[in-house]
Amino acid sequence: MAVDVDVVDLWATDLAYRVESAQLLRGVSVAIRSGRVTGVLGPNGSGKSTLLRLIVGALPPSAGVLRLGATDLARMSRRDRARRVAFVEQESQAEVPLRVRDVVLLGRIPHRPAFSTDSARDLALVEESLERAGATSLADRDFATLSGGERQRVHIARALAQTPHLLLLDEPTNHLDVAAQLDVLSLVAQVAAAGTGVLMAIHDLAHAAQACDDVVVLDHGTVAAAGPPREVLTPELVASVYGVHAEWVHGVTGSALVFSPLPGP
Amino acid sequence: MTGAEKGARALAVWLPAGVVVLLVSLVVTLTIGPAAITPGEIMGSLWHHLTTWAHDIGIGGEPPSNPLTRIRDAIVWQGRAPRLLTAASVGAGLALSGAVMQAITRNPLADPYLLGVSSGAALGAVAVLLLGVAIALPIAAFAGALVALGATLALAGVDGRLTPGRTILAGIAVAQACSALVSFAIFSTSRGDSYREIISWLMGSLGGATWGSVAIAGLAVVIIGGVLLGSGRTLDAFVFGDVSATSLGVNVTAARWVLLTLTALLTGALVSVSGSIGFVGLVLPHVVRMLVGSRHLGLLPLAAVGGAIFLIWADTGARTVFDPMEVPVGILTAAIGAPVFAWLLLRNRSAA
């Protein structure tokens, strides 16, 4: 089998996270492959955000191994990790006025020594990232004045400026209107097409089916199913994980899941 | 011109401009006061002292004579100069501390006294001024500040993590406890002059500044302030919160412990010579953000310079406006700071 040397995949094996007596994640194994979008699905409280935070290093795993290519992430310094793994949170806002370009420049922090000003490379990468995220026209705006969809674009541009191997996104379409949702998902697809591995927590199952190459469905902190979305998201699985009846409806431009309550006992 | 260039240019213009204004302010305010002394005489006298000192250690020839008489020389170099340099150091340190506090707590209302440091220092000062504890005032005040800082951090960091919300609440608890003790001590012991002295200290005053104060405040600003200036990259990373900072490679808990402690130590040293002067640390960082944006590489040095300029002039006002009576400078900074802060608040409301 041919191995592409540029490909850096992340393998999470048997991840667990417990806080006090609550076991939030148990025995979760996930692969994030270069150039592919992997979706993390599951009801509220199933452990999606926890999984993302373990991978980004914001929470320490209670057990399990995170391997990026041949390297154990736990042995890597925070800065080295931040050069390889970028994270876009759900709706994050600043308390102080910030220009969009300054937000994107934050992505260069892990690459920059203390006391230094922006290098030519930093500035060039910021422009390139704004361009890739379709946010160039926003560059001189105040971040607080942007719409939700524009903010997500800017956060993704900031993550791209980090030049990561992996991009993690926590429900990036949350609270966005439909057009902005599709917009963000197509941007995520472009990022993956350029070779970055993407792991995205997402609520909307139909969007997940369209936007993800693979999905991992979490249920009470464990993996209920994993694989290509159309194979995984069966009415049986949806009924067992979400407790609702689901049916695929096929239209001209795509397919959607339609939900109804499960028939009573 | 791109935005980043604009930011860099704003810094390249504002910082040198600020330093020039600071130096000019120092010379001009040295001339202000009941004894009329010109800038020329001050420069001549400074040159006399410098060349005399150089001559004494064997450099240069016979120094020129001093244009100032002995008494006028003492008014400048033993009275006004140490007081101005203390004002500059305290102003710079407070503004810098405020900017750092606001960044690590992600709270625009944070100020240098957030951890109860000023109330702790007040307790130390009261012990000396009212209860007659026989140690130097700055040492007692600094010790009080350290005790308060320790109590706040212990309370906020019980489980090892230091969240902004808990830190603020712990600071309030410690500050209130110290304030109650201070008020009780004043209520039960002070008479006449000692009452005046303690009130003036509590409101913040530079009236008692000596070269010793310059040494304490100046060294604290240069050493701790220097370290804080280097933390700009880390502080930038906090702008979208702890998780975001982690994903940018910052050890959030360690950074917060170190920066909070350094800021509080700096503030403690400043308060020990001046009492707690309000509003400088709260308002100056906001004003500077309006000029150069929120990136700390520019914000921190410019806040320090701006704070120094502001407090130099505020203190000059405090010692001259109601001449011959002197008002505590804290009254003046609050009188100026409160309306400015209200204006900022209204301005931000329309932006949000």
> Which residue in chain B has the smallest CA separation from A80?
B249
For residue A177, give how far its alpha carbon lies from the nearest alpha carbon of chain B (Å). Answer: 20
The identity of residue A59, as a single letter, is L
Q: What are phi and psi of A119, to 5 degrees?
A: -80, 165
How many helices (H) does chain A have, and how many strands (E)?
A: 9, 12
For residue B86, give how far its alpha carbon lies from the nearest alpha carbon of chain A (Å). Answer: 27
Q: Say how many Å lie between the first and final Cα of chain B, rounded.
A: 27
What are the structure tokens assigned to A15, written together? Answer: 């991840």
> Which residue in chain B has the smallest CA separation from A168?
B247
Q: Residue B2 has what pLDDT?
A: 42
Q: How confident is the model at residue B189 (pLDDT cuts 50, 70, 90)?
A: confident
On whether the CB atoms of residues A94 and A78 are closer than 8 A, the answer is no
What chain B holds in terms of domains, given with CATH numbers, is 3-32+69-345 (1.10.3470.10)
Q: Taking CB atoms and an 8 Å cutoff, what residues of chain B touch A86? A: 247
Q: Residue B159 has what pLDDT?
A: 74
pLDDT at B350 over 80: no
pLDDT tens digits along B151-175: 998 998 877 777 888 888 999 999 9
Q: Residue B33 has what pLDDT?
A: 85
Please state which of the ranges B62-71, B171-180, B184-193, B271-280 shows the lowest mean pLDDT. Answer: B184-193
H or E element that contains B139:
helix B137-156
For residue B97, give how far its alpha carbon lies from the nearest alpha carbon of chain A (Å). Answer: 17
- Number of neighbouring beta carbons within 10 Å of residue B192: 7
Interchain proximity B240–A140, CB inside 8 Å: no
Interchain proximity A126–B4, CB inside 8 Å: yes
Regions of chain A with pLDDT less than 50: 1-5
CA-to-CA distance for B233 and A102, rounded, in angstroms? 12
pLDDT tens digits along B246-270: 999 999 989 998 999 999 999 999 9
Q: Residue A201 has what pLDDT?
A: 95
The C-alpha angle A79, B99, B92, rounded to 5 degrees, equals 120
DSSP string of B199-247, one letter each residue: HHHHH---TT--HHHHHHHHHHHHHHHHHHHTTHHHHHHGGG-HHHHHH
Candidates A218, A180, A190; CA nearest to A202 is A218
CB-nearest to B239 from A58, A96, A126 is A96
- B101 touching chain A per CB within 8 A: no
Is residue B194 exposed (0-12), middle (13-18) or buried (19+ Cβ within 10 Å)? middle
pLDDT at B186 over 90: no
Q: Taking CB atoms and an 8 Å cutoff, what residues of chain B touch A83? A: 249
Residue given tokens 């048997």 in the structure block = A14
Q: Which site among A104, A106, A116 would you substitute to test the B interface, given the most B Cβ atoms closer than 10 Å to its Cβ?
A: A106
Interval B184-207 mean pLDDT: 83
CA-to-CA distance for B315 and B328, rounded, in angstroms? 8
Interchain proximity B240–A89, CB inside 8 Å: yes
Q: Taking CB atoms and an 8 Å cutoff, what residues of chain A touch B108? A: 95-96
Q: Which site among B247, B259, B294 would you substitute to test the A interface, given the most A Cβ atoms closer than 10 Å to its Cβ?
A: B247
Edge-to-edge, what's the strand order for the sheet holding A166-170? Answer: A85-88, A166-170, A197-201, A37-41, A214-219, A222-227
Interchain proximity A78–B230, CB inside 8 Å: no
Q: Residue A7 has what pLDDT?
A: 62
Q: What residues have CB less than 8 Å from B49, skipping those under 6 apart?
A: B66, B77
CA-to-CA distance for B184 and B271, rounded, in angstroms? 21
Q: Residue A93 has what pLDDT?
A: 82
Q: What are phi and psi of B13, to 5 degrees?
A: -90, -50
DSSP string of A71-85, one letter each residue: EEGGGS-HHHHHHHE
On whether the CB atoms of residues A61 and A13 are closer than 8 A, the answer is no
CA-to-CA distance for B252 and B84, rounded, in angstroms? 38
Q: Which site among B227, B233, B248, B282 would you substitute to test the A interface, given the most A Cβ atoms closer than 10 Å to its Cβ?
A: B248
Q: Residue A3 has what pLDDT?
A: 40
For residue B265, give how far its alpha carbon lies from the nearest alpha carbon of chain A (Å). Answer: 22
Interchain proximity B108–A101, CB inside 8 Å: no
Q: Taking CB atoms and an 8 Å cutoff, what residues of chain B touch A110? A: 248-249
For chain B, give the mean pLDDT. Answer: 88
What chain A holds in terms of domains, given with CATH numbers, is 10-233 (3.40.50.300), 234-265 (no CATH)
pLDDT tens digits along B92-139: 999 999 999 999 998 888 889 888 888 999 899 888 888 878 888 888
Interchain proximity A117–B352, CB inside 8 Å: no
- B110 touching chain A per CB within 8 A: no
How many helices (H) does chain B have, and how many strands (E)?
A: 15, 0
CA-to-CA distance for B25 and B91, rounded, in angstroms? 13
Q: Taking CB atoms and an 8 Å cutoff, what residues of chain B touch A95? A: 106-108, 239
Strand partners of residue A257? A248
Strands A197-201 and A37-41: parallel
Strand partners of residue A244? A261
Beta strands in chain B (DSSP E): none
Q: How many CB pairs under 8 A join A and B?
A: 110
Interval B338-344 mean pLDDT: 88
